[in-house]
Amino acid sequence: MTKTKIDDVFNKLKATGDKAFISYIMAGDGGLDKLKGQIRTLEESGVDIIELGIPFSDPVADGPVIQQAAIRALEQNISLQNILDELKNIKDEITAPIVLMTYINPILNIGYSEFARDAAESGVSGIILPDVPLEEEEDIKVHLSEHDIALIRLVTLTSDEDRIRELSEGAEGFLYAVTIKGTTGGRKSFGEDTYSHLEKIKSIADVPVCAGFGVSNVEMAKQLGSYSDGVIVGSKIVELLHKGEDGKIKDLIPEKSTAVK
């Protein structure tokens, strides 16, 4: 099974009883020249893993905030290849594992083998593909595995126990547990079905389970963290970066028992 820097992070957090905080940002939003500074800001705020969104014209899983961020990046002609090239330039200055969240079309445009090679050379630890179901992942997974890049699967609220077991078998990195029925974006609260669903996934999965979609404040992050191994925050962080309110990112992150790196 593929082992990456992602596994190292969860092993360290497990040893201290802490939960992972994973941040999502749209790569190229504000210009690709800002990516290094944005990543450094996230690391200094206490983020454990960084998920980089790839701008795409038809983002079916994304809500309005992330859609607008993608549009801003696309208006500057930012592509997946541009982002990989920039990551290659700055990878030695990045500590946190990098996970790419992209749709399959940009990868097809490069080619599976070429993409996997370039991603590895750019220091990428994992890939999330929301439009590639389990039954269709093998074509790309074989190439990612050659370069020790984890293919991270999503589990939704509509996944029944049998499906959760299928998704858990051979899972890599962590399972991305979607906490709402719908697209990304801040919510005021989660239903009890969300928490019971996380408990079910946790009872089945052999890899860490991280909850994402809809988390917009530290209280929600703490609550979801009590039912999972970590939380993923996207829209709120994208919004703060766009507004130039980077200093507020650390306020979203629950305190850990160890010093923030």
Report the predicted TM-score, pTM, of the whole model to 2 decimal places: 0.93
Nearest to 216 by CA among 179, 171, 173: 179
Burial of 114 (0-12, 13-18, 19+ CB in 10 A): middle
pLDDT one digit per residue (tens) for the chain, 261 residues: 678 999 999 999 999 999 999 999 999 999 999 999 999 999 999 999 999 999 998 767 677 889 999 999 999 999 999 999 999 999 999 999 999 999 999 999 999 999 999 999 999 999 999 999 999 999 999 999 999 999 999 999 889 999 999 999 999 999 999 987 654 444 455 777 889 999 999 999 999 999 998 788 999 999 999 999 999 999 999 999 999 999 999 999 999 875 444
d(CA 104, CA 96) in angstroms, rounded, equals 24
Phi and psi at residue 97, to the nearest 5°: -60, 140
d(CA 83, CA 255) in angstroms, rounded, equals 31
User: Which overall architecture, per CATH, does domain 5-252 show?
Assistant: Alpha-Beta Barrel (3.20)
Instruction: Count Cβ atoms below 10 Å from residue 226 Cβ, excluding itself.
Output: 11
For position 185, what pLDDT does the model report? 46
For position 189, what pLDDT does the model report? 57
Three-class SS state of 193? helix
| Angle CA 189–156–188, to nearest 5 | 10
Location of structure tokens 């890599």: 172
Catalytic annotation, residues: 51, 62
Nearest to 91 by CA among 125, 118, 122, 115: 122
Q: Bridge partners of 209?
A: 175
Residue 185 — left, alpha, or beta (φ > 0 → left; ψ -120 to 50 → alpha)? left
For position 258, what pLDDT does the model report? 53
Torsion of CA 198, 173, 129, 232, to 10 degrees: 50
